[in-house]
């Protein structure tokens, strides 16, 4: 009983071993077949160049190529490539290469990185070594930032200020960092800007008034240091010679600027034209007096120390004729009525009218004036309307009777072109435009005009600053005539 049981058990085991051996054999055979099929049919992809490629912006990525094959055939044309690289945009790109052959699919990938390795550039405005005024704060002059990839990095600049330098740093989006340093040197090496107002070479006629035209002094660190200017030298306008005035100014740091002005004082030169003295200005005022503007003119003349000539009429207050006379001005006669139809109707009419104003002046001042100015001047043609030839007769008759008459060679235009605008700057500009150092200037003005009174001080200052001398008509002043036209 026991023997049969053992024997049957052994048979069973042998049977099982056999089955296992068969299964293993089948598996081996099938595997072998499958492996063979795989080796023959499975595709393989070979990428040219690396599987990881890094391209430095702005270089452009180009597919380096690939090959695909199975054991016996070339499958390159069957490869499908997925994924794109934008070379203009920094980043990592994945490219997938896929090829299929019967049941087999092979996939491989390549990683492409577009990278930026270039630093931004910081360009400082101003200098990398900058002088800063001692005790002053540096005023940022600014900077520009450029980068090969990023735009508008300017706002990202970090500015670090230390005692003697400013450090500018900026990073682009890829982390490339630029750094620029501005050195601050606290020193003032720049001289003050000292400049003369008016001419640096002034010609003065002896007897003129020297009037300092002034100067400006601006320092880069200290600002306006006008008050620190020192003037060495003096001018004696009554002594012929050349005078040098030296102007100096120092800034806080000790930088010194110097300028000089040469003033030549020369003897008055005589001329046969005009009123006789080259570079002289004879201010003459017609048609007054006038209660307000004549008073203003007398004030200006007094303040400026200038004497002038007034050709008066019968108008205005006696007191102003008295005042003009007492203050040393010359009183001349312009006719009493200033009416052309009256004074130019006949020689008798003219002298009757002239005598009227002459006796007014005599009554007020006790002075017998022999200086006259014809209304409209001796060259006027208006008079022809009332009496042809009257100016020819009057011009010789007044001289016969001991008078001298004075026309003008500079017209302030205060009764002409400037009368419409009533502009004092018009009177000033017209007058100084026609003043000349090469003639004796007989200037026609009207003291009844308020805008003439307003222009007068500037005219006088101009004359002084340009070396003119001011004179009044006196017995030595020759007749000034524009010529007789009637
Ligand atoms: Zn007049």
Please give the distance, rounded to the nearest whole angstrom, from the Cα atom of residue 376 to the centre of ligand 1.
6
Domain shared by 346 and 261, yes or no: no
Where a domain ends, among 164, 186, 208? 186
Domain shared by 364 and 326, yes or no: yes
Q: What's residue 276's pLDDT?
A: 85
Q: What is the CATH number of the domain that holds 453?
A: 3.20.20.370
Where a domain ends, among 240, 266, 292? 266
Domain shared by 327 and 391, yes or no: yes
- Is 29 among the domain residues? no
72 burial via Cβ count (<10 Å: 0-12, 13-18, 19+): exposed
How far apart are the C-alpha atoms of 186 and 134, rounded to whole Å? 5
- Is 12 among the domain residues? no
Please give the distance, rounded to the nearest whole angstrom, from the Cα atom of residue 430 to the centre of ligand 1.
19
Please give the distance, rounded to the nearest whole angstrom, from the Cα atom of residue 286 to the centre of ligand 1.
5
Please give the distance, rounded to the nearest whole angstrom, from the Cα atom of residue 390 to the centre of ligand 1.
17
Residues of the chain with pLDDT under 50: 1
- Is 326 among the domain residues? yes
How far apart are the C-alpha atoms of 323 and 365, rounded to whole Å? 9
Domain shared by 288 and 435, yes or no: yes
Please give the distance, rounded to the nearest whole angstrom, from the Cα atom of residue 309 to the centre of ligand 1.
13
Q: What's residue 3's pLDDT?
A: 56
Please give the distance, rounded to the nearest whole angstrom, from the Cα atom of residue 313 to the centre of ligand 1.
9
Please give the distance, rounded to the nearest whole angstrom, from the Cα atom of residue 371 to the centre of ligand 1.
14
Please give the distance, rounded to the nearest whole angstrom, from the Cα atom of residue 42 to the centre of ligand 1.
125
Q: What is the CATH number of the domain that holds 52?
A: 2.60.40.10
Domain shared by 90 and 201, yes or no: no
Domain shared by 333 and 439, yes or no: yes
Domain shared by 358 and 311, yes or no: yes
**361-402 pLDDT, tens per residue?**
999 999 999 999 999 999 999 999 999 999 999 998 998 999
Q: What's residue 274's pLDDT?
A: 77
Please give the distance, rounded to the nearest whole angstrom, from the Cα atom of residue 271 to the centre of ligand 1.
27
Domain shared by 298 and 367, yes or no: yes
Domain shared by 379 and 442, yes or no: yes
Please give the distance, rounded to the nearest whole angstrom, from the Cα atom of residue 443 to the centre of ligand 1.
13
Chain-centre distance for alpha carbon 196: 20
- Is 3 among the domain residues? no
Please give the distance, rounded to the nearest whole angstrom, from the Cα atom of residue 337 to the centre of ligand 1.
10
- Is 111 among the domain residues? yes
Q: What's residue 376's pLDDT?
A: 96
21 burial via Cβ count (<10 Å: 0-12, 13-18, 19+): exposed
How far apart are the C-alpha atoms of 396 and 404, rounded to whole Å? 10
How far apart are the C-alpha atoms of 217 and 201, rounded to whole Å? 19
Which residues pair with residue 249 across a beta bridge? 257
This model's pTM is above 0.85: no
How far apart are the C-alpha atoms of 283 and 288, rounded to whole Å? 14
Q: Are 113 and 95 in contact (CB under 8 A)?
A: no
Q: Are 315 and 287 in contact (CB under 8 A)?
A: yes
Kindly state the DSSP code that residue 401 receives in the 8-state scheme: T
Q: Write the CB contacts of 149 (distance below 8 Å, at least 6 apart in sequence).
A: 57, 58, 90, 116, 118, 172, 173, 174
- Is 77 among the domain residues? yes
- Is 106 among the domain residues? yes
Please give the distance, rounded to the nearest whole angstrom, from the Cα atom of residue 289 to the centre of ligand 1.
11
Please give the distance, rounded to the nearest whole angstrom, from the Cα atom of residue 291 to the centre of ligand 1.
17
Q: Number of folded domains in the chain? A: 4
| Host domain of residue 154 | 121-186
Please give the distance, rounded to the nearest whole angstrom, from the Cα atom of residue 437 to the centre of ligand 1.
26
Closest to 436 measured CA to CA, from 269, 255, 314, 293? 269
Domain shared by 262 and 352, yes or no: no
- Is 178 among the domain residues? yes
Query: Which pair of tokens denotes residue 39?
Result: 């080796």
Secondary structure class of 256 (helix, strand, coil): strand
User: Near ion ligand 1, which residues have CB within 5 Å?
Assistant: 286-287, 375
The maximal CA–CA distance of the chain, rounded, in angstroms, is: 196
Domain shared by 416 and 322, yes or no: yes
Where a domain ends, among 66, 91, 115? 115
Domain shared by 105 and 201, yes or no: no
Chain-centre distance for alpha carbon 322: 52
């Amino acid at each position: 009983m026991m023997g049969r049981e053992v024997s049957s058990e052994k048979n069973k085991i042998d049977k099982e071993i056999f089955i296992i051996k068969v299964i293993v054999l089948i598996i081996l055979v099938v595997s072998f077949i499958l492996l063979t099929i795989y080796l023959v049919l499975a595709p393989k992809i070979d990428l040219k160049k690396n599987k990881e490629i890094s391209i430095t912006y702005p270089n452009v990525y180009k597919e380096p190529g690939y090959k695909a094959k199975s054991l016996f055939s070339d499958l390159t044309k069957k490869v499908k490539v997925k994924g794109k690289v934008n070379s203009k945009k920094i980043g990592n790109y994945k490219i997938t290469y896929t090829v299929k052959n019967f049941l087999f699919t092979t996939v491989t990938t390549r990683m492409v990185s577009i990278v930026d390795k270039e630093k931004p550039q910081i360009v400082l405005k101003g200098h990398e070594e900058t002088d800063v005024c001692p005790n002053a704060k540096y005023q940022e002059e600014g900077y520009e930032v450029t980068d090969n990839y990023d735009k508008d990095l300017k706002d990202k600049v970090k500015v670090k200020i230390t005692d003697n330098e400013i450090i500018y740093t900026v990073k682009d989006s890829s982390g490339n960092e630029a750094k620029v340093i501005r050195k601050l040197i606290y020193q003032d090496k720049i001289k003050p800007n000292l400049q003369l107002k008016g001419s640096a070479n002034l010609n003065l006629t002896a007897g003129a008034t020297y009037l300092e035209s002034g100067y400006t002094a601006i320092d880069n660190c200290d600002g306006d240091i006008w008050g620190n200017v020192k003037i060495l030298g003096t001018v004696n306008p009554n002594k012929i010679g050349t005078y040098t005035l030296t102007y100096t100014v120092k800034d806080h740091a000790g930088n010194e600027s110097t300028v000089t002005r040469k003033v030549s004082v020369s003897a008055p030169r005589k001329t046969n034209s005009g009123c006789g003295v080259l570079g002289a200005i004879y201010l003459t005022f017609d048609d007054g007096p006038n209660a307000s503007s004549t008073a203003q003119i007398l004030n200006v003349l007094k303040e400026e120390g200038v004497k002038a000539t007034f050709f008066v009429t019968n108008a205005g207050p006696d007191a102003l004729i008295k005042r003009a006379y007492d203050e040393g001005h010359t009183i001349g006669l312009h006719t009493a009525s200033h009416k052309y139809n009256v004074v130019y109707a006949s020689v008798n009419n003219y002298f009757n009218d002239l005598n009227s104003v002459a006796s007014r002046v005599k009554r007020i001042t006790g002075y017998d004036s022999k200086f006259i100015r014809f209304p409209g001047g001796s060259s006027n043609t208006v008079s022809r309307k009332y009496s042809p030839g009257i100016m020819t007769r009057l011009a010789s008759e007044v001289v016969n009777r001991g008078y001298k008459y004075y026309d003008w060679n500079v017209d302030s235009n205060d009764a002409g072109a400037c009368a419409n605008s009533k502009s004092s700057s018009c009177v000033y500009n017209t007058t100084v435009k026609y003043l000349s150092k090469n003639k004796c200037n007989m200037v026609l003005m009207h003291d009844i005009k308020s805008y003439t009174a307003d222009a007068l001080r500037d005219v006088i200052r101009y004359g002084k600053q340009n070396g003119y001398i001011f004179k009044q008509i006196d017995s030595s002043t020759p007749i000034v005539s524009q010529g007789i036209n009637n």
